[in-house]
């Protein structure tokens, strides 16, 4: 998967995650872990010019936690941490409805959480 630098920041990555069928364990990942992964992912190269990254990541964590299964939530975190194989292992075990939910959630998260500075 190739990720281009854009102003959409981590939200482009989230949408890409959803479409690549990622998978991870059903786990109790915390919102703090999600926010940390989101912020670190931004430091590695996804450009979010004009965005309040911390507020966007906090919003995304809360939205993803409420919209996704534990597996989908964990897969997003693993992807942002650069653990692509682990993330793919999780999503590959998701049924089609979970994968569709992941895509829908990514779009919802982008719409709600792209916070400008």
CB atoms within 10 A of CB 100: 12
> Residue 78 has what pLDDT?
92
Instruction: Examine residue 102 and state whether it is found in any structural domain, yes or no.
Output: yes
Instruction: Examine residue 26 and state whether it is found in any structural domain, yes or no.
Output: yes
> Can you tell me the distance from the alpha carbon of 116 to that of 103, in angstroms, rounded to the nearest whole number?
23
Q: What is the pTM of this model?
A: 0.67
HSE toward the beta carbon, residue 117, CA cutoff 13 A? 9
Question: In total, how many domains does the chain have?
Answer: 1
Instruction: Examine residue 3 and state whether it is found in any structural domain, yes or no.
Output: no
Instruction: Examine residue 2 and state whether it is found in any structural domain, yes or no.
Output: no
Instruction: Examine residue 67 and state whether it is found in any structural domain, yes or no.
Output: yes
> Residue 54 has what pLDDT?
87
> Residue 77 has what pLDDT?
92
What is the per-residue pLDDT across 20-52, written as a single tens digit (0 to 9) for each? 333 333 346 788 999 999 888 877 655 555 667
Which token pair is 31?
């919102």
What are the DSSP calls for 22-63, one per residue?
Answer: -B-------HHHHHHHHHHHHHTT---TTB-HHHHHHHHHHH
Best mean pLDDT range from 9-13, 26-30, 51-55: 51-55
Strand, coil or helix: what is 94? coil
Could you tell me the residue range of the domain that residue 49 belongs to? 10-113
Split at pLDDT 50, 70, 90, the class of 1 is very low
**Comparison of pLDDT for 85 and 43, the residue scoring more:** 85
Instruction: Examine residue 24 and state whether it is found in any structural domain, yes or no.
Output: yes
């Amino acid at each position: 998967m190739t990720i281009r630098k854009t102003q959409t920041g981590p939200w482009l990555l989230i949408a890409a995650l959803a479409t690549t069928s990622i998978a991870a364990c059903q786990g109790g990942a915390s919102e703090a872990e999600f926010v940390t992964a989101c912020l670190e992912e931004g430091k590695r190269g996804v450009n979010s010019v004009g965005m309040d990254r911390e507020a966007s990541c906090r919003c995304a964590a809360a939205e993803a936690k409420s919209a996704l299964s534990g597996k989908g939530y964990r897969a997003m975190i693993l992807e942002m941490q650069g653990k692509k194989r682990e993330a793919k292992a999780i999503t590959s075990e998701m049924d089609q409805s979970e994968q569709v939910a992941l895509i829908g959630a990514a779009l919802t998260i982008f719409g709600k959480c792209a916070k400008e500075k």
